[in-house]
Amino acid sequence: MSQPTASEKTLELEPQAESTVRAIDVKKHFPVKEGLLGGKTGEVRAVDGVSFSIPKGETFGLVGESGSGKTTLGKTLLHLHEPTGGTVEVAGQRLDELSKRQLREFRQHMQIVFQDPTSSLNPRKRVHQIITEPMRIHDIGTEDERLERAEELLEIVGLPEEYLYRSPTALSGGQKQRVGIARAVAVNPDFVVLDEPTSALDVSVQARIVNLFEDLQERFDLTYLFITHDLSLVKNIADWIGVMYLGRLVEVGPTQQVFRDPQHPYTRALLSAIPTINEADERFKPEKIVLEGEVPDPREKPSGCAFRSRCPHEFPACAESEPGFYDVGPSHYSRCFLHDDELEPDGPPWEPTSTI
């Protein structure tokens, strides 16, 4: 385990499995314009070289503090943001090989559900128009068939048929989110990005919406990228977890494995902050690691390892270059020099820990 073992370009979670999504070195940089003339003065490297894959029908949970680049990555995967670099493949199709028109057609295979159902549904349209719109755009079925499908979908997402003729303004947050979900799955997508899809909802409604995502995944064989701040949620819903820090993945692996034995100091800090429900769990929990400061401004990224400015284990190697991914278990990778046998860290002791 002395060298980074996983090349950034071949990070496969399950090499034998069929992947619905494959991202290779994906980047999204935004220009920063300042001054009176608004000229480009720098760039925000919101996503700065991300590679991973999602096996068909599975869920990849993406976590990380605010500003780490989760939403930008989700949108870039769907080419809602044009990537600055790298390639994305969805259901066997490389998106950069599509013309603009072909990409518009291909959108049928990839959809997104946003956090805020109120702003993502057009208040001037009725529910049936909202749900059938993507089918109309992609020229699927006749008007009657689309309406029939909307009725069916409404039932699947757990809303009564008469809601078809309501305005979204007459619905609760959870009901609106159900409409948004029905709309996303109406065109039979392969891949759906869920960007904090439950965080605007009441806690009591969240669990039911999560169950709905699971039902739909099974029914339609959907592959999800589930973006969330809620680590307890991701633990229950995701097969895989990716931890993002300043535009890069720092740890990737099977969810249960990462929760049981987190390897990157950043992941350990994030997981140590999860509230536990009962006292027994609390006793087994590792000591809380308090991260000082916030994610640095992506315009002023530290040299070497981007996490070193907040890492309790920093040692000289961390400033010299950025660590690659080290293989730390089956399909489990961590981007940290502490895994390198040839380097001698001089920080606090590094023991395997276990979270609940």
Ligand X SMILES: Nc1ncnc2c1ncn2[C@@H]1O[C@H](COP(=O)(O)OP(=O)(O)OP(=O)(O)O)[C@@H](O)[C@H]1O
Closer residue to Mg ion in complex, CB, 41/119: 119
Does 206 sit near ligand X (CB under 6 A)? Answer: no
Does 197 sit near ligand X (CB under 6 A)? Answer: no
Helix count and strand count (H, E) for the chain:
12, 12
DSSP, collapsed to helix, strand or coil, labels residue 329 as strand
d(CA 181, CA 327): 37
Q: Assign residue 257 a region: left if phi > 0, alpha if psi is -120 to 50, beta otherwise? A: alpha
Does 72 sit near ligand X (CB under 6 A)? Answer: yes
Least Cβ distance, residue 173 to ligand X (angstroms) = 18
Instruction: Kindly state the tokens that stand for 337.
Output: 């020099």
Does 69 sit near ligand X (CB under 6 A)? Answer: yes
Instruction: Report the side by side order of strands in the sheet with 39-55.
Output: 39-55, 19-34, 85-90, 93-94
Candidates 60-68, 87-95, 177-185, 333-341: pick the segment binding ligand X (CB under 6 A): 60-68
Amino acid in the structure at residue 147: L
d(CA 136, CA 141): 8
* Contact partner, 69, from ligand X, Mg ion, none, Cβ < 5-8 Å per class: ligand X
* Contact partner, 298, from ligand X, Mg ion, none, Cβ < 5-8 Å per class: ligand X
Closest-CA residue to 175 (of 134, 141, 203, 209): 209
Candidates 62-70, 170-178, 200-208, 342-350: pick the segment binding ligand X (CB under 6 A): 62-70
- Terminal-to-terminal C-alpha distance of the chain: 26
User: Could you tell me if 87 and 24 are in contact, meaning their C-beta atoms sit under 8 angstroms apart?
Assistant: yes
d(CA 179, CA 280): 40
Does 30 sit near ligand X (CB under 6 A)? Answer: yes
Interface pick for Mg ion out of 19, 20, 59, 71 (rule CB under 5 A) = 71
Least Cβ distance, residue 46 to ligand X (angstroms) = 3
Does 67 sit near ligand X (CB under 6 A)? Answer: yes
- Interface size with Mg ion, residues (CB under 5 A): 1
Does 293 sit near ligand X (CB under 6 A)? Answer: no
Closer residue to ligand X in complex, CB, 300/346: 300
Does 220 sit near ligand X (CB under 6 A)? Answer: no
Closer residue to ligand X in complex, CB, 56/81: 81
d(CA 31, CA 205): 39
Closer residue to Mg ion in complex, CB, 180/323: 180
* Contact partner, 67, from Mg ion, ligand X, none, Cβ < 5-8 Å per class: ligand X
Closer residue to ligand X in complex, CB, 64/134: 64
Task: Tell me the residue ranges of DSSP E strands in 197-281.
Answer: 223-227, 240-245, 248-254
CB neighbour list of residue 145: distance below 8 Å, 6 or more residues apart:
none
DSSP, collapsed to helix, strand or coil, labels residue 304 as coil
Closer residue to ligand X in complex, CB, 55/64: 64
Interface pick for ligand X out of 51, 68, 132, 267 (rule CB under 6 A) = 68
Task: Tell me the residue ranges of DSSP E strands in 18-77.
Answer: 19-34, 39-55, 59-63
DSSP, collapsed to helix, strand or coil, labels residue 204 as helix
Element (H, E) at 192: strand 191-195
Least Cβ distance, residue 119 to ligand X (angstroms) = 14
Q: Residue 195 phi/psi, 5° resolution? A: -100, 100
Closer residue to ligand X in complex, CB, 64/83: 64
Interface pick for ligand X out of 23, 24, 26, 46 (rule CB under 6 A) = 46
Does 44 sit near ligand X (CB under 6 A)? Answer: yes
Does 298 sit near ligand X (CB under 6 A)? Answer: yes
Least Cβ distance, residue 70 to Mg ion (angstroms) = 5
Does 198 sit near Mg ion (CB under 5 A)? Answer: no
User: Could you tell me if 261 and 254 are in contact, meaning their C-beta atoms sit under 8 angstroms apart?
Assistant: no
- Tell me which residues touch ligand X (CB under 6 A): 30, 44, 46, 64, 66-72, 298
- Tell me which residues touch Mg ion (CB under 5 A): 71
